[in-house]
Amino acid sequence: MAMQVTSNERKRLNVLWQYDVLDTVPEAVFDELTELAANICEAPTALISLVDEKRQWFKSRVGLTVRETSRDVSFCSHAIRQSGLFIVPDATQDARFAHNPLVTSDPKIRFYAGAPLVTPDGYALGTLCVIDKEPRVLRPDQQKALLVLARHIMTQLELRRHSRELAAAHRARETADDKLRKAQEEITLLKRRLADARDGRRSGAGAPSSKAGRGGRPRPSVRKAGAARSPRRAR
């Protein structure tokens, strides 16, 4: 099966990676929304699926044990190309999925409904989807609930991203403050050394010379006792 890609796929992937959510540990807020989707839609399986470059990875899952599947067999890679719900009432009767290994073997998908997880900028990161092993449809109220829950999941992803960015900004501010403090300490130390050096030069310039007498005048030289006088030149 050919892998489905969006027209702005490279940008979409970059946005997905900026959320830094792939391969993270399970989080209760997402698991609760997934369970709620399964209960409202009366489906044995519900997933929060994020469509990566070559795989779909499940941030949360109910009724499924695997953490990811290949993107080229992903129903969700089709769903992110839609603006609203993507519904497959019976996968065995749909030419796009009839020979999909997820249909012909475990988990033997028959019914699929996925609501895209769309960022404020309009990029679909993945889906909130429900799956069943029996052909079926969703009632209008169930369809509406799935879309509402998908928006709540996107809100949580946004909050998670902003919280991470704020934490990173706080760490960067602390690092900058620490560097500024060290720079100020170095400047203070340098000023102290310069002041000490000036004081030292002033002390050396003001000290009387050992050859100077009182008042700074040169001391007269005193001959040693018994020193021979130079003979006078004969006239």
pLDDT score of 170: 57
Whole-angstrom Cα distance, residue 169 to residue 165? 6
- The β-bridge partners of 51 are 56
Question: Which tokens sit at 74?
Answer: 């992903």
pLDDT for 235 beyond 50: no
Whole-angstrom Cα distance, residue 92 to residue 167? 48
pLDDT for 227 beyond 90: no
pLDDT score of 181: 76
**pLDDT (tens digit per residue) in 22-80:** 999 999 999 999 999 999 999 999 999 999 999 999 999 999 999 999 999 999 999 99
Decide which of 228 and 139 is more confident.
139
Whole-angstrom Cα distance, residue 153 to residue 109? 24
Report pTM: 0.70
**pLDDT (tens digit per residue) in 161-173:** 888 777 666 566 7
Decide which of 179 and 91 is more confident.
91
Domains and CATH numbers, the chain: 9-167 (3.30.450.40)
Question: Which tokens sit at 19?
Answer: 């959320």
Do residues 46 and 161 make contact, with C-beta atoms less than 8 angstroms apart? no
Q: What is the DSSP letter of 73?
A: G
**pLDDT (tens digit per residue) in 74-130:** 999 999 998 899 999 999 999 999 999 999 999 999 999 999 999 999 999 999 999
Do residues 130 and 45 make contact, with C-beta atoms less than 8 angstroms apart? yes
Q: How confident is the model at residue 234 (pLDDT cuts 50, 70, 90)?
A: very low
Do residues 125 and 51 make contact, with C-beta atoms less than 8 angstroms apart? yes
